[in-house]
């Protein structure tokens, strides 16, 4: 990246300047917090790291690590003498090691890795107070839930086969487990947001979670109905927001990759998106007063696994329909895929259009079918997980479907 920007400048100079700038960036927060090592110290440490990285000798780089450790010990000793709190200089000492590592990475040519580490480190330093408050307020149950989520995400997932297998090569174990992780992750994130921001946390989960997987949002949200006062109307508005976000995402994907169908998808999906946002506010205008009292564990692996099993069945049936029924099978596949993730239906339609397997209007129809199927399945999950809001979800989701079909009808008339 830097070589392209500064083609006339020798690569070595670019590395030295980049490392120094990243060191300045890291030292900025330490200087602002009035720590023993500040902006100049961090810049020099990163500069030294880049020099050693450019030289490329492992022994020299290792010697640099020892020098930085010695410097960190001196900083710690000075902090103790000045009666500062231990945790403060420990953070600064570790940050100095990070600054050196960033410099070495840049010196070796790993620009992206160095920039990423620098920004993540700066973020951790800036969010010190928020992170400490969050950690101190965690309960034992929440810590256990976080550990369980880490196990299914970072231990089990990498062990699963990476290639599809089974009938029609339809079983993608990693894809199924990724959906389990998505449901668990969205539920965990929603728990944190609701605990901190009450009703606004649900709204954020509904829209931003809906951009990722609206069905997973609904599974997570409906499991929380009844946990606190006003949760039924809050869940309803969250479901409507998730539908809006899903429609918006599908519309953007379709327009970006298949511009020829912009009119075919803009009217129905645009109407669903706008009307969904309006209905979310209409059914539950935010006025505060919704509290997280009684909020239960953020992690429910049982529900996530049940949904993963349902997704596996949909994958197998979709593969059979697509292989056996031709164009009709394509639409059946889109509907079944939409039951789990309309995003999958949309990307499948886009991919098949790109390879010439289907024409533009059929791709647009498949995207709309997948979107409508996703809205329908939310009624089912509401009936299973939260019967008290089933009638409301049924009515308003059918309203959204009718709006989308009205958009399709308008296009046929025009």
Residues 190 and 230 in one domain: yes
Residues 118 and 147 in one domain: no
Residues 156 and 100 in one domain: no
Spell out the residues 6+ positions from residue 52 whose beta carbon is closer than 8 angstroms to its own. 60, 61, 63, 64, 103, 104, 107
Would you state the torsion angle of the CA atoms of residues 281, 287, 289, 292, taken in this order, to the nearest 10 degrees? 40
Residues 395 and 275 in one domain: yes
User: Which residue do the tokens 């409507």 mark?
Assistant: 240
Domain count, the chain: 2
Residues 145 and 115 in one domain: no
Q: What are 251-303's pLDDT values in tens digits?
A: 988 888 788 888 889 999 999 999 999 998 888 765 544 444 444 555 566 66
Letter string b/e over residues 235-258, b meaning 16 or more CB atoms within 10 A of that residue's CB? bbbbbbbbbbbbbbbbbebbeebb
Domain extent, residue 241, equals 139-413
Q: How many CB atoms neighbour CB 333 within 10 A?
A: 28
Higher pLDDT, 306 or 116: 116
Residues 228 and 304 in one domain: yes
Residues 343 and 195 in one domain: yes
Residues 31 and 104 in one domain: yes
Residues 96 and 148 in one domain: no
Tokens of 284: 């539950």
Spell out the residues 6+ positions from residue 302 whose beta carbon is closer than 8 angstroms to its own. none
Q: What are 126-148's pLDDT values in tens digits?
A: 887 777 777 777 777 777 777 87
Spell out the residues 6+ positions from residue 365 whose beta carbon is closer than 8 angstroms to its own. 264, 331
Q: What are 369-390's pLDDT values in tens digits?
A: 999 999 998 888 888 877 788 8
Domain final residue pick, 78, 109, 133: 133
> Could you tell me the pTM of the whole model?
0.58
Q: What are 47-57's pLDDT values in tens digits?
A: 988 998 888 88
Domain final residue pick, 133, 151, 180: 133
Q: What is the pLDDT of residue 272?
A: 94
């Amino acid at each position: 990246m830097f070589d392209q920007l500064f083609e006339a400048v020798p690569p070595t100079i670019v590395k030295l300047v980049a490392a120094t700038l990243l060191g300045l960036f890291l030292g900025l927060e330490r200087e602002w917090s009035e720590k023993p090592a500040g902006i100049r110290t961090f810049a020099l440490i990163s500069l030294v790291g880049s020099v050693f990285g450019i030289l490329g000798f492992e022994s020299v780089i290792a010697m640099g690590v020892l020098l930085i450790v010695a410097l960190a010990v001196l900083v710690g000793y000075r902090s103790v003498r000045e009666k500062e709190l231990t945790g403060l200089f420990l953070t600064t000492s570790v940050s100095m090691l990070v600054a050196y590592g960033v410099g070495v990475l840049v010196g070796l040519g790993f620009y992206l890795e160095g920039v990423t580490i620098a920004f993540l480190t700066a973020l951790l330093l800036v969010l010190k107070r928020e992170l400490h408050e969050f950690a101190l307020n965690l309960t034992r149950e929440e810590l256990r839930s976080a550990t369980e989520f880490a196990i299914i995400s970072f231990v089990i997932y990498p062990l699963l086969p990476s290639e599809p297998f089974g009938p029609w090569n339809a079983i993608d174990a990693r894809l199924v487990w990724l959906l389990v992780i998505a449901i668990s992750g969205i539920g965990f994130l929603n728990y944190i947001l609701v605990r901190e921001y009450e009703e606004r946390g649900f709204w954020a989960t509904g829209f931003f979670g809906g951009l990722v997987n609206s069905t997973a949002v609904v599974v997570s949200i409906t499991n929380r109905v009844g946990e606190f006062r006003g949760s039924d109307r809050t869940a309803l508005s969250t479901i409507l927001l998730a539908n809006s976000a899903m429609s918006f995402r599908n519309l953007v994907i379709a327009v970006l990759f298949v511009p020829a169908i912009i009119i075919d998808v803009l009217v129905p999906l645009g109407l669903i998106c706008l009307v969904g946002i309006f209905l979310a506010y209409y059914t539950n205008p935010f006025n505060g007063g919704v509290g997280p009292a009684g909020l239960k564990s953020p992690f429910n692996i049982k529900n996530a696994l049940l949904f993963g099993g349902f997704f596996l069945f949909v994958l197998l049936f979709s593969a059979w329909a697509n292989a056996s029924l031709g164009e009709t099978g394509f639409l059946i596949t889109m509907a079944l895929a939409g039951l789990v993730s309309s995003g999958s239906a949309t990307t499948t339609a886009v991919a098949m259009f790109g390879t010439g397997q289907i024409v533009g209007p059929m791709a647009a129809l498949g995207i709309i079918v997948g979107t409508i199927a996703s809205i329908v399945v939310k009624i089912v999950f509401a009936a299973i997980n939260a019967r008290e809001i089933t009638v409301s979800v049924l009515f308003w989701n059918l309203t959204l479907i009718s709006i989308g079909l009205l958009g399709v009808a308008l296009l046929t008339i025009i």
